[in-house]
Amino acid sequence: MYPLPTPARAGSFPARRHPALRGAALALSAALLTAGCGSSGGSAAKPADTASSPEGFPVTIDNCGVRTTYERPPSRVVTIHQHPAELMLALGLKDRMVGTAFPDSAVLPELRKDFEAIPELARREPSFEKILDSEPDLVYGGYGSAFAEKEGRSREAFADAGIDTQLNREYCGRKRVTVEDTYAEVRTIGKIFGVSGRAEKLVSDLEDRVGQAKSAVEDRPDVPVFVYDSGDKSAFTAGGKGLGTDLIRLAGGRNVFADLDDVFGDVSWEQVVERRPEVIAVYDYAGSGSVEQKKKFLLAQDALADVPAVRNKRFVVLPLTATLVGIRSAYAVDDLARGLHPESFR
């Protein structure tokens, strides 16, 4: 399982993306279609060749403004960021994966052996040339930074090289992301690879996990939760557009910064004090400082001493990967529920 700055005006927050997204150059559509998100208009669809296509193909996917037609399931895939890799492994698609990149949390135990068997191309996003060396027919990115134009990894650049791309739907510019987006992402990947049956089974398993945790706490009062990602002069926290807010809700909590109109953003420590969270959810990921360092910092701030969560040392630790659109989100609901309402799980 996982001296205060001047307060900002209530309800007003500076926009800022998560550190893993900084530098991403996104010019993507916000419209969503059933099989993905966005409307046609990115890379052109490939000419149909139905005579040689397997059963159920060709398949056309609209994803963040890029329409792709797959004549057959991709056979050589590079995943950038951990959550797309775990999703593919959970669907039994290890044999289609020729490279991974940017692991940011410990891999789920049941997937670790398969994950470690796939070549790691880079500790962060690999270069365009490094990806080409793996000869992929599809690159599946988790954050928008997977396809950062200024780094030469735009989706157009891959299309020009004859390589298809898929971006996690969380970064298609949606107004608000919920756990339903996780289920939709699983179904979309299942469709692309011709394993829709496996996808439906996985969705059912994830729904059951979420449902059990939700049922266990449904009669309990909501617990106010503050998400601490990082920051010292200000707090970098999860806002209302990101999946984290929905996960907290399902677990019997309430994100005290759900009114922050972004996926992530900065808030002042005065605002944290004013909103009096009873639990702090600490996001854990490589490069942000250890969980113990984060806890030590929060507990050492005199201005936070009377915040219930700090006074009572109530923390729930979540791998950042578990708060994204991917299979971990269902696990996060269970972990959160147990941390917010331990009395319901005795």
CATH number at residue 336: 3.40.50.1980
What is the predicted pLDDT for the residue at 72? 97
Can you tell me the distance from the alpha carbon of 33 to that of 9, in angstroms, rounded to the nearest whole number?
A: 37
Confidence at residue 171, expressed as pLDDT on a 0 to 100 scale: 87
Does one domain contain both 240 and 182?
no
Based on the domain organization, do 262 and 340 belong to the same domain?
yes
Q: Are strands 97-101 and 164-167 parallel, antiparallel or unpaired?
A: unpaired
Q: Are strands 235-238 and 264-267 parallel, antiparallel or unpaired?
A: antiparallel
Residue 186 has pLDDT above 50, yes or no: yes
Q: Is the Cα dihedral 281, 285, 288, 289 positive or negative?
A: positive
The answer to the question of residue 2 being in a domain is no
Q: What is the pLDDT of residue 19?
A: 46
**Of 170 and 236, the one with more pLDDT:** 236
Q: Is the pLDDT of residue 54 over 70?
A: yes
pLDDT tens per residue across span 303-345: 999 999 999 999 999 999 999 999 999 999 999 999 999 999 9
CB atoms within 10 A of CB 71: 15
Band of residue 3 on the pLDDT scale cut at 50, 70, 90: very low
Q: For the CA atoms of 16, 19, 23, 26, what is the dihedral angle to 10 degrees?
A: -60
Q: Is the pLDDT of residue 129 over 60?
A: yes
CA distance 159 to 164: 6
Taking residues 241-260, report their average pLDDT: 96
Mark whether 67 and 159 lie in a shared domain: yes
Let me know if residue 340 belongs to a domain: yes
Question: pLDDT higher for 8 or 213?
Answer: 213
What is the reported pLDDT for 173? 79
231 and 195 assigned to the same domain:
no
The answer as to whether 3 is a domain residue is no
Report the candidate in 311, 285, 286 with the shortest Cα–Cα distance to residue 298.
Answer: 311
Mapping DSSP onto H, E and C, the string for the chain reads CCCCCCCCCCCCCCECCCHHHCCCCCCCCCCEECCEECCCCCCCCCCCCHHHCCCCCCEEEEECCEEEEECCCCCCEEEECHHHHHHHHHCCCHHHEEEEECCCCCCCHHHHHHHHCCCEEECCCCCHHHHHHCCCCEEEECCHHHHCHHHCCCHHHHHHCCCEEEECHHHCCCCCCCHHHHHHHHHHHHHHCCCHHHHHHHHHHHHHHHHHHHHHHCCCCCEEEEEECECCCCEEEECCCCHHHHHHHHCCEEECCCCCCCCEEEECHHHHHHHCCCEEEEEECCCCCCHHHHHHHHHCCHHHCCCHHHHCCCEEEEEHHHHCCCCHHHHHHHHHHHHHCHHHHC
Same domain, 202 and 228: no
Please check whether residue 180 is in contact with residue 243, taking contact to mean a CB–CB distance below 8 angstroms.
no
Based on the fold, state whether residues 127 and 265 are members of the same structural domain. no
How far, in Å, CA of 112 to CA of 273, rounded? 40
The rounded distance, in Å, linking the Cα atoms of 78 and 120 is 10
User: Are 273 and 200 found together in one domain?
Assistant: no
Within 8 A by CB and 6+ apart from 224, the residues are: 253, 254, 256, 275, 276, 277, 278, 279
Give the model confidence (pLDDT) of 254-267 as tens digits.
999 999 998 899 99
Whether 200 and 235 share a structural domain: no
Domain that holds residue 197: 19-206
* Residues 71-95, mean pLDDT to the nearest whole number: 97
287 versus 176: the higher-pLDDT residue is 176
Domain boundary among 206, 229, 250: 206
Residue 257 and residue 167 share a domain: no
Contact (CB, 8 A) for 78 and 53: no
What pLDDT was estimated at residue 287? Answer: 82
- Asked whether 168 and 47 are in contact (CB, 8 A), the reply is no
Q: Is 90 exceeded by the pLDDT of residue 42? A: no
* 52 confidence band (pLDDT: 50, 70, 90): low
**How many structural domains compose the chain?**
2
Residue 16 in this model has a pLDDT that exceeds 90: no
pLDDT of 53 reads 74
Is residue 6 included in any domain, yes or no?
A: no
In the listed set 155, 174, 206, which residue is the last one of a domain according to the structure? 206
Q: Is residue 9 part of a domain?
A: no
Decide if 212 is inside a domain. no
Residue written as token pair 């922050």: 260
177 pLDDT higher than 50 = yes
Q: How much is the average pLDDT of 4-21?
A: 37
Residue 49 confidence (pLDDT) above 70: no
User: Looking at residues 243-247, what average pLDDT do you find?
Assistant: 96
What is the pTM for the complete model shown? 0.82
More confident residue, 338 or 30: 338
Query: Which of 129, 156, 140, 164 is CA-nearest to residue 27?
Result: 156
Kindly state the average pLDDT of the residues 25-47: 37
**Is the pLDDT at 155 greater than 80, yes or no?**
yes
CB 315 within 8 A of CB 279: yes
Q: For 168-179, what is the mean pLDDT? A: 88
Whether residue 44 is contained in a domain is answered as yes
Residue 214 placed within a domain? no
Does 30 share its domain with 167? yes
Same domain, 140 and 100: yes
pLDDT of residue 226 exceeding 70, the answer is yes
Residues 236 and 143 in one domain: no
Q: Tell me the mean pLDDT in the region 151-156.
A: 97
pLDDT at residue number 39: 35
Tokens of residue 108, six digits: 């789920």
Of 158, 173, 206, which closes a domain?
A: 206
Among 280, 286, 289, 288, residue whose Cα is nearest residue 317 = 280
Under the banding of pLDDT at 50, 70 and 90, the label for residue 174 is: confident
Reported confidence tier of residue 44, pLDDT bands at 50, 70, 90: very low
| Average pLDDT of the residues in 89-101 | 98
Lowest average pLDDT, out of 29-43, 216-230, 322-336, goes to 29-43
